[in-house]
Chains A and B, each alone.
Chain A
Amino acid sequence: MKRDEQQKKLIHLNVNGETISLHVEPHWTLSKVLRNDCGHTGTKEGCGEGACGSCTVLIDSVAVPACMVLAVEQQGKEIETIEGLSKDGKLHPIQEAWLEEYGSQCGFCSPGMIMSTKALLLKNTSPSDDEIKEAISGNICICSNYEHIINAVRSAAKKMKGEQC
């Protein structure tokens, strides 16, 4: 075990605007570190091999499955997780839309799906249905609640534009 301790490296991650300093092993994935060491269990881990999208977070505003990147490589980047969305007990417009449109059934995919939606709406405030599908094509919903999810993304886009006006 001592060898493992020696292998650990001190890194500084910027997660939801806060700097977190911690020791990680070089092969630890960002999803494991977020969940186990940062307490951000909102980032769900499903397949652990990049196929399901449930661990999606934003890294410098790009949606990335956190199980497919190493924590040590994320220094100096801005990481945003589902925990960064709602502020002071107030839901983010995407989360509001998810609730209103019944975007969650079992809800396991929701945090990742919501983060992919945020990445989409950051660069495209009026996405077409095809663009919505493309943006969330790496996130699977086992409840296959896509009708409601697409409605939620459409509604979120409207809400966010309204807020920016």
Chain B
Amino acid sequence: MIKTNSIGTAVRQKDGPARVTGSAKYYADFIFPGMLQIRILRSPYPAADIVSIDTSAAEAVEGVEKVVTYKDIKGKNRITGLITFPTNKGDGWDRPILNDEKVFQYGDAIAIVCATSEKIAKAAAKLVKVELEQLPEYMDAPSAMAEDAMEIHPGTPNVYFEQKIVKGEETAPIMDKADVVLEGSYYVQRQPHMPIEPDVGFAFIDDDGKLNIHSKSIGLHLHAAMIAPGLGVELENLIMVQNYAGGTFGYKFSPTMEALVGAACLATGKPVFLNYTWEQQQQYTGKRSPFFTDIRLAASKDGELLGMETDWICDHGPYSEFGDLLTLRGAQFIGAGYKLENIRGLGKTVCTNHAWGSAFRGYGAPETEFGYEVMMDELAEKIGMDPFDLREKNVYRESQGTTTPTGCKPEVYCLEDIFTVGRPKYEEMKKWAAEDAAEGFKRGVGIAVGIYGSGLDGPDTAESAIELNKDGSVTLFNCWHDHGQGADIGCLGTAHETLRPLGLKPEQIHLVMNDTRNCPNGGPAGGSRSQVVIGNAIIAACRSLMDAMRKADNSYMTYDEMVAAGKELRYDGKWSAPASDCDENGQGSPFACYMYGLFMSGVEVEIATGKVQVEKMKLIADIGKINNKLAVDGQLYGGLAQGVGLALTEDFEDIKKHATMVGAGFPYIKQIPDDIELVYVETERPNGPHGASGVGELPLTTPHSSIINAIYNACGARVTHLPARPEKVLAAMKG
């Protein structure tokens, strides 16, 4: 623990009272008179040519200000993925703000009706006449990869990016000689994020003539750069702000409605407000990209892993932004956690007409780690070893100098400790499973190792700033975006610990957050990077301030003394991760810090129906030193619960049926186990701020693998394609 008595227990979220009294203003709570209400005219087809758009009847309706189409957009009318890899066969300019020539997925935005009331906008939207000519629809990767499939974006092949992994020796001879070779195919589904608050925000032009966009964006500077050229706005004339967000879980790593309100505001010159319906939230925001993964694993009969061959396919929907990055995760994380000296594999990113792929908590981990964590159990069974013993035998060890799949040493070797701490917990779980379940039910226990990097690849960078105030307090300026995970407490805890020599109380540290006009670029809140990368930038800023304040006798100047000495009052801090991007073979040292976990699930399966209830979960987590215990506990509880949904019920494959919370399999409280135990192994991270790593992604790396393994342990049903709905478990049970 970071030794700060004032954080962790005594101090809650700085904005906690606002959240429990209802006074916290989420974007739907901003009701300004005179703001135009927007209705989006959406494509009813996943793929079509746009023949014509006639807005005249809608524009004739009283109260309609304007119907905005692509013709009104002054810029390139495209949202760019910005960091498109050089080997990507697309150019990254594939996502229209308002569709012009074609529609590429269900719900694509064709026109924006701007009116004085929501009711008028809704009625007028029905009068916009759009003529569409349907095209073949490629609703999953295999169909889009078929030889006769048309190019969804003409000129770019549907398979538009490939990533190899080449580590160690050739694997083919190893496969030929090994005692045991296992093969398996696995599928992780198109998981929807399902925030309770549907996407929402507004735009206006301020007195300086700048376009201001307020939204749930968790990457304000990134999104500004992604949408500015499309809108035809200079970056310095675009201000972006994030306020309270009712959950995002990564879908807001992609811009969603930002460019739409921007376009409508620019076209009308008036403030505009847009609140998606919950159905629209499901159908027109990004989803977890489904992964099809094939694995061949060679092992000795005593359980030593000898080599692995992998092929993974990422269905990224029609829009490519970050699809290459996500595909790279397959090279980085398939097989992570174990000594695997020899790996060959190839990942492919595929364009389809289903919902586009956006970040989702775990980003690549639950997709790529699911299969091999199930295969480890299959191997254990094959060679007659306990799944725990097999894993423990193969985990990263300092004594062996084990390297990750990308060929670098992990920043700390903590998995042995995790397994030592985990063993009695596992025995406890096995004892529970051995007890009789109620008649008609069977119990089982499953485990899985989960690992993820804390940061974006390579020299991930953040900036922060701090200012000394007249009353001796300080103000911290940061873009540490908040999905709801506790960005405020992250900033506060990190700064408070660093500023300890000044003796400031937490309430003397003020936060100005998430506003591109006032706060430096911290980078997006994704990949559990904020605590590590922004945290280090906060430390750098705080130290600069303290260096300036420090007197010869090591005491610190007051505000008045600083002013009298003619010293600056505001200081910047910047930090870049000491890491390197992976090469064409997937080799490199991409992350400065990782998170490690051992998941255990105890399930009961109803034999007659195949219905699974997760009764117990344990997570032995090493996320470095903990900044705020309650915030971290909350993150882990929440991620585990999302793992239950991922394993058993959640999906967005059927565009209509899965457009509601119940239809998409949202788990309610009774589906979440009462008995969740969190155990921390706090290995200090050399590059972590005060020794901390990240946290948010860890609990959704492999909880689903542990549940799937537990189902097999209970009833012999091996589910390899998620979600494991009852009918699937039942069918697997019958073999």
Q: Do A and B associate with each other?
A: yes
Q: Which of A42, A110, A145, A150 contacts B638 (CB 8 A)?
A: A145
Residues in A neighbouring B196, C-beta threshold 8 A: 44, 46-47, 52, 54, 108-109, 140, 142
Given known pairs A49-B660, A99-B12, A145-B637, the reply for A111 and B674 (CB within 8 Å) is: no
A interface majority secondary structure: loop
Q: Judging by beta carbons under 8 Å apart, are A104 and B13 in contact?
A: yes
A34 to chain B, nearest CB (A): 11
Instruction: Please state if A107 and B641 are interface contacts (CB–CB under 8 Å).
Output: no
Q: Check if A143 sits within 8 Å of B484, measured CB to CB.
A: yes
In the complex the two chains form, what is the Cα distance from A47 to B198 in whole Å? 8
Give the complex CA separation of A35 and B275 in angstroms. Answer: 14
In the complex, the chain A residue whose C-beta lies closest to that of B485 is A105
Q: How far is the CA of A42 from the CA of B667 in the complex (A)?
A: 25
Q: Tell me whether A143 and B197 are in contact in the complex, defined as CB-CB below 8 angstroms, given that A83-B22, A103-B20, A105-B485 are known contacts.
A: no
Contact A129 B20 (CB under 8 A): no
Candidates B17, B197, B637, B666; contact of A108 at CB < 8 Å: B197
Task: Number of A interface residues at 8 Å Cβ cutoff, please give it.
Answer: 53
Which listed residue (A43, A137, A145) contacts B22, Cβ 8 A?
Answer: A43
Q: Look across to chain A and name the residue whose beta carbon is closest to the beta carbon of B22.
A: A42
Query: Are the CB atoms of A104 and B28 closer together than 8 Å?
Result: no
CB–CB A106/B245 < 8 A: yes
| Bound form: Cα–Cα A42–B25 in Å | 8
Whose C-beta in chain B lies nearest to the C-beta of A25?
B119
- Is B578's beta carbon under 8 Å from chain A? no
Interface check B23, CB cutoff 8 A: yes
Q: Check A133 for interface membership: any CB of B closer than 8 A.
A: yes
| Chain A residues within 8 Å of B412, by CB | none
Q: How far is the CB of B280 from chain A (nearest CB, A)?
A: 11
The answer to whether A102 and B631 touch across the interface, beta carbons within 8 angstroms, is yes
B633: A residues at CB distance < 8 A: 102, 147-148
* A140 in contact with B22 (CB, 8 Å): no
Interface pair A147/B198, CB less than 8 Å apart: no
Q: With a CB–CB cut-off of 8 A, which chain A residues contact B668?
A: 137, 140
Quick one: given A1-B62, A46-B278, A49-B278, are A143 and B29 in contact (CB under 8 Å)? no
A91 near B21: Cβ-Cβ < 8 Å: yes
User: In the complex, are the beta carbons of A148 and B21 less than 8 A apart?
Assistant: no
B725 → A minimal CB distance (Å): 19
Do B20 and A91 have beta carbons less than 8 Å apart?
A: yes
Establish whether residues A46 and B277, one from each chain, have CB atoms under 8 Å apart when the complex forms.
no
B418 at the interface (CB under 8 A from A): no
Q: Which of B226-257 contact A (CB under 8 A)?
A: 244-247, 249
Contact of A108 with B246 at beta-carbon distance under 8 Å, contacts A41-B29, A46-B278, A144-B642 already known: yes
**Is the CB of B413 closer than 8 A to any CB of chain A?**
no
CA distance A127 to B115 in the complex (A): 49
When the two chains form their complex, are residues A147 and B637 in contact, meaning their CB atoms are under 8 A apart?
A: yes
Expressed in whole angstroms, the Cα–Cα distance for A19 and B547 within the complex equals 59
Residues A51 and B661 in contact, CB atoms below 8 Å apart: yes
Nearest residue (CB) in B for A4 is: B119
Q: Which residues from 9 to 43 on chain B have a C-beta closer than 8 Å to any C-beta of chain A?
A: 12-13, 16-26, 28-29, 31
What's the minimum C-beta distance from B552 to chain A, rounded to whole angstroms? Answer: 43
CA distance A35 to B245 in the complex (A): 18
A82 touching B661, Cβ below 8 Å: no
Contacts of A150 in B (CB 8 A): 674
- CB contacts (< 8 Å) of B21 on chain A: these are 42, 82-83, 85-86, 91, 95
Q: Give the chain B neighbours of A45 by CB distance below 8 A.
A: 28
Flag if A146 contacts B634 (CB, 8 Å): no
Question: Nearest Cβ distance between residue A17 and chain B, in whole angstroms?
Answer: 16
Task: Give the shortest distance, in Å, between B284 (CB) and chain A (any CB).
Answer: 16
Using CB atoms and an 8 Å cutoff, list the residues of chain B in contact with chain A.
Answer: 12-13, 16-26, 28-29, 31, 62-63, 194-198, 244-247, 249, 277-278, 482-486, 630-631, 633-635, 637-638, 640-642, 660-662, 666-670, 672, 674, 676
The 10 closest A-B pairs by CB, nearest first: A42-B22, A106-B484, A108-B246, A144-B641, A107-B19, A82-B22, A41-B29, A46-B196, A102-B630, A104-B19
A-B contact pairs, 15 of them (CB 8 A): A41-B25, A42-B23, A46-B278, A47-B198, A54-B197, A83-B21, A104-B19, A105-B484, A106-B245, A106-B246, A106-B482, A108-B484, A109-B196, A110-B22, A144-B667
Binding site for B on A (CB under 8 A): 1, 35-36, 40-49, 51-52, 54, 81-83, 85-86, 91, 95, 98-111, 114, 129, 133, 136-137, 139-148, 150
What would 19 more interface pairs be, CB under 8 Å, given A104-B20, A146-B669? A35-B28, A41-B25, A42-B22, A42-B23, A51-B666, A52-B661, A82-B21, A83-B22, A95-B17, A99-B12, A102-B630, A104-B13, A107-B24, A107-B484, A108-B196, A137-B668, A144-B640, A144-B642, A144-B667
